Chain A
Amino acid sequence: GAVVSQHPSRVICKSGTSVKIECRSLDFQATTMFWYRQFPKQSLMLMATSNEGSKATYEQGVEKDKFLINHASLTLSTLTVTSAHPEDSSFYICSARMLVVGTSGGYNEQFFGPGTRLTVL
């Protein structure tokens, strides 16, 4: 259980075009999803928090008009990179948050997708 998928896994596009990346929670509902960006040999940097039915919350320094996030259902969030440029080339990772109930109580755990490699020529 708690599987998160991303589509596509890899995309190459020309500079100036827009690219949409989908993040789906396959076997659970997620009111909150997160979008991260990972540069080679570096850590994951949180870009934004995606909330179902409301506007995303962007981290400082992330252009919300550049990275459009839509969380229209409890199982799907999309990230659209608009007017992509070579500097947007990166590995984009999403996660979906789910309440996990254990023996010591409940806690929120993030389940991660496998990532999408974006290359902008």
Chain B
Amino acid sequence: GNSVTQMEGPVTLSEEAFLTINCTYTATGYPSLFWYVQYPGEGLQLLLKATKADDKGSNKGFEATYRKETTSFHLEKGSVQVSDSAVYFCALSDNQGAQKLVFGQGTRLTINP
């Protein structure tokens, strides 16, 4: 079945550091890929998405590129801020039927001033 594996946390960085959170997937067909963010006390929010190979999703300074050859969708940001502290989830949808989401285990990110 479909699955998502992402970098285990927690990850702690200093403000303005470069961020990478790795995500790889296993899926049949051509899934869509997502990064969701969960801020403390809030629900999950879609951060960015990519629906086909070589697409780059971007939002709020975060980027991720859909790499079919390496089955990866790594999240990157050039300069993190304290407000980026949250839990980040990589997910895929098989684009069939109800378009269910399969999530990775989540990575807790803490940014220190």
* Residues of A in contact with B (beta carbons under 8 Å apart): 4, 32, 34, 41-46, 49, 57, 93, 95, 97, 107-110, 112-115
B101 contacts chain A at the CB level, 8 A cutoff? yes
B99 touches A108 (CB 8 A): yes
Q: CB-nearest residue of chain B relative to A46?
A: B100
Residue of B nearest to A44 (CB): B103
B36, B43, B45, B100, most chain A CB atoms within 10 A: B43
Whether the Cβ atoms of A110 and B101 lie closer than 8 Å is: yes
* 3 tightest A-B CB contacts, nearest first: A112-B43, A112-B44, A114-B43
B69 within 8 A of A: no
Known A43-B89, A49-B98, A114-B42; contact A107-B106, beta-carbon cutoff 8 A: no
Q: Which of B76-113 contact A (CB under 8 A)?
A: 89, 98-106
Most buried by A among B32, B101, B104, B105: B101
A112 touches B89 (CB 8 A): no
Q: Chain A interface secondary structure, helix, strand, loop or mixed?
A: strand
Residues of A contacting B106 with CB < 8 Å? Answer: 41-43
Q: Which among B45, B49, B99, B102 has the highest number of chain A CB atoms within 10 Å?
A: B99
Distance between Cα atoms of A46 and B2 in the complex (Å): 13
Query: Bound complex: CA of A76 vs CA of B10, how far in Å?
Result: 35
Distance A62 CA – B18 CA, assembled complex (angstroms): 41
CB neighbours (8 Å) of B102 from chain A are 46
How many whole Å from B94's CB to the nearest CB in chain A?
12
Which B residues lie within 8 Å of A95 (CB)? 44
Residues B2-57 near A (CB distance < 8 A): 32, 36, 41-46, 49, 51
Flag if B99 contacts A42 (CB, 8 Å): no
A114 to B51, CA, bound (A): 26
